[in-house]
Copies of this chain bind each other. A is one copy, B any other.
Amino acid sequence: MLKDTHIVVVVAHPDDAESYCGGTIAHLTKSGNRVTLVVCTSGDRGSHDCSISPTNLIHLRKEEQYTSQHVLGVQEIIWLGYEDGKLAYQPELRDRLIRIYRQLRPNVIITFDPWKHYEFHPDHRAVGFAATEARMLADLPWICPELTLEGTAAWHPQEMYCFSPQDPNYWVDITETIDLKTEARLAHHSQNDFIHNETDRQQFIEMIRSNARKDGEDQKMNYAEAYYKVDDTDFNL
């Protein structure tokens, strides 16, 4: 079982980590690994309620993310503060992630699969491309040479897992953490405006469980989260 490993999870919005890999995160932290969560945007446009301003939404969603952090056992959250809905493909985001990878020197990266068909959210695709390219380029000392010059050496996170995968090839059993995943996801109250009563709430929980059941089906796992795993080394989530 994986231990003493440092995993960096890169997502676009508060609540992405919970929805896509919350069970995996809880599993990892419980086993004695360190998880750092990088949230690229502030989720500041993510509400159908016109009476909550972006400024307030930023604060609200940070609070929600901290509650979820506690549930999942995440050690650290890094906020990049980009504006929600505006994360186009851009070198700046990639460079900031290269810096983070080189400074933290994690063993594993978890992020979006940017090739997922019909993934309509531009922020998800943008984060997927930036985070996966950053892993490859972080290993070359002449990329972001100022880091090399200041003594922050090149670094290659040994493994990478892309969630919401177009071509899944790896599954994490989350049977023991499906409840934590659900609790963490529900902590994002601002994203639950479709829940008006206990029935809605149970329906949403069942939907999360049903999706995880489907992902685990062929793997003989009760509940699973699916990934496209890149490179085979000694680590395994």
Contact = CB atoms under 8 A, between A and B. Distances in A.
A61 interface: no
B120 A132 contact: yes
A40 to B, nearest CB: 16
Nearest to A130: B122
Interface string A117-141: 1101110000001001101110111
Contacts of A44: 142
A8 B83 CA distance: 25
Given A85-B137, A122-B133, A47 B142 contact: yes
A150 B54 contact: yes
A50 B148 contact: yes
Q: Which of A88, A89, A115, A150 has the most CB of B within 10 A?
A: A150
23 contacts: A45-B140, A45-B142, A45-B143, A47-B141, A47-B142, A48-B140, A50-B141, A50-B142, A50-B148, A53-B146, A53-B149, A53-B150, A54-B142, A54-B146, A54-B150, A55-B152, A56-B150, A57-B142, A85-B143, A115-B117, A115-B118, A120-B135, A145-B149
